Amino acid sequence: NIGIRDYQTSHRTIQLPGLVNIAAFVPGLVSRDSDDLQRVTKASIAAGFSMIRVMPVGKDGSISDVKSLKVAQQNGKRGTYCDFNLSITATSDNAHQISHAAGEVGSLFIPFNHLSDNISKVAAVEAHFDAWPTHKPIITDAKTTDLASVLLLASLHNRRVHVTGVTSKDDLKLIALGKEKGLKVTCDVNIYSLYLSQEDYAGCQFLPTAEDQAALWEHLETIDVFSIGSLPYQLAHFLNQSADVTVGVADALPLLLTSVAEGKLTVDDVKARLHDNPKEIFELHDQVGTSLEVEIDRPCILGAAGSWSPFSGKVLKAAVQRVTFQEQVACLDGSILSLPPRGNDMSTHGALPPMAAISSPAT
């Protein structure tokens, strides 16, 4: 019996810095008085993520102007359990408006494949490249020829761009080509895309095909970051599962560390893609006194908390043992200690261009 043998193997304990989820999906982000952000940050800190970059697209709307940003900021003031920052969504006609909010958010997200508010015209995307401050990151979920359009604009404007949620071999190839040719492009893959494919869930277009998934694993060197993204939530919806708003958060690290246990990834592969690279790409703040302890090769059954996950009941080979946040133990063996929420809205960190901050104030 495999389970018993697993329980008998010895395990190793590893220290990691506080991790970053660069694409946290918060369904009720712009819904008045929603506690989704609070709940997602709580699940995040328990899972080892001490910083989340919140995707500016929720279930019922997106952060696309000053008004919707205010709602999200207000929800952030209910108290959060890890640090977070907010971004803003580009639409076909809000290039001017969002320049007013640029100082209060971490980045601009240009959606092509989201539930609503997608951009279709190159001219609209171009307007955003012109209006958005040059020192602030631009993120997109563009695929195939849309991806080529965005990379072209990045190339012509000599700007950095980050591609989130890559699922296909061809897109990864195009990104690799861009990197090879000196384009400032980085990318992330949703962790679920590494472990689930259309072979597991036929017709689930937002998952990679089995062939594409194999290509993601083959070309890990092109993938800068692993993220959670909205994929777990979309999958639950696709399967008509009434999932928790935090679906996918608890699975993330155990899945990756199980691959470490199986020799498919190294601890450094994971650390680079959940801490070092996210911090560098998005110029995130240092989180003093924040770290975690994980155990690898220790069998652990997922989903004890009772909420749905495609991995519920599966035996994984790793677990988060302890999370320390701001010098205090926040989490032990997956249970949050009852501490007050001490996360901060870090959206304005790095909001000013380095030169302007030193010299005179903007006019």
Nearer to a copy of itself among residue 175 and residue 235 (C-beta): 175
| 77 forms part of the interface with a copy of itself (CB under 8 A) | no
| 170 forms part of the interface with a copy of itself (CB under 8 A) | yes
DSSP 103: G
Which of a copy of itself, Zn ion, none does residue 17 bind to, with CB < 5 to 8 Å depending on kind?
A: Zn ion
In the complex, what is the shortest distance from the CB of residue 128 to Zn ion, in angstroms, rounded to a whole number? 9
Q: Show Cβ contacts of residue 348 under 8 Å, excluding neighbours closer than 6 positions.
A: 103, 104
| 255 forms part of the interface with a copy of itself (CB under 8 A) | no
In the complex, what is the shortest distance from the CB of residue 159 to a copy of itself, in angstroms, rounded to a whole number? 11
Strand spans (E) along 10-168: 12-17, 19-24, 49-54, 83-86, 88-89, 108-110, 138-140, 161-163
**Beta partners for 248?**
none
Q: Which of 57, 127, 151, 260 binds a copy of itself (CB under 8 A)?
A: 151
| 148 forms part of the interface with a copy of itself (CB under 8 A) | yes
DSSP element (H, E) containing 156: helix 144-157
The residue to which tokens 């995307």 are assigned: 125
| 133 forms part of the interface with Zn ion (CB under 5 A) | no
Q: Show Cβ contacts of residue 284 under 8 Å, excluding neighbours closer than 6 positions.
A: 20, 51, 85, 278, 346, 349, 350
CA distance 207 to 173: 18
Q: Which stretch binds Zn ion (CB under 5 A): 10-18, 60-68, 144-152, 247-255?
A: 10-18
Q: Which stretch binds a copy of itself (CB under 8 A): 4-12, 51-59, 177-185, 213-221?
A: 177-185
Q: Which of 6, 17, 267, 303 binds Zn ion (CB under 5 A)?
A: 17
Q: Which of 47, 183, 216, 257 binds a copy of itself (CB under 8 A)?
A: 183
Q: Which of 69, 174, 194, 294 binds a copy of itself (CB under 8 A)?
A: 174
In the complex, what is the shortest distance from the CB of residue 229 to Zn ion, in angstroms, rounded to a whole number? 21
| 156 forms part of the interface with a copy of itself (CB under 8 A) | yes
Q: Which of 77, 96, 100, 173 binds a copy of itself (CB under 8 A)?
A: 173
Binding mask 109-128 toward a copy of itself (x if CB under 8 A, else -) reads ------------xxx--x--
- Phi/psi class of residue 194: alpha, beta or left (left: φ > 0; alpha: ψ in -120 to 50)? alpha
Handedness of CA 56, 44, 51, 270 (dihedral sign): negative
| 341 forms part of the interface with Zn ion (CB under 5 A) | no
Nearer to Zn ion among residue 85 and residue 321 (C-beta): 85
Which of Zn ion, a copy of itself, none does residue 130 bind to, with CB < 5 to 8 Å depending on kind?
A: Zn ion
Amino acid in position 127: A
| 181 forms part of the interface with a copy of itself (CB under 8 A) | yes
Contact (Cβ atoms closer than 8 angstroms) between residue 320 and residue 331 = yes
> What's the Cα-to-Cα distance from 121 to each of 28, 96, 160, 166, rounded to whole Å?
28, 16, 20, 21
DSSP element (H, E) containing 324: strand 315-325
| 130 forms part of the interface with Zn ion (CB under 5 A) | yes
CA distance 276 to 359: 30
Instruction: Indicate the SS3 state at residue 192.
Output: helix
The residue ranges that bind Zn ion (CB under 5 A) are 17, 130
In the complex, which residues of this chain contact a copy of itself (CB under 8 A)? 121-123, 126, 144-146, 148-149, 151-152, 155-157, 170, 173-174, 177-178, 181-183
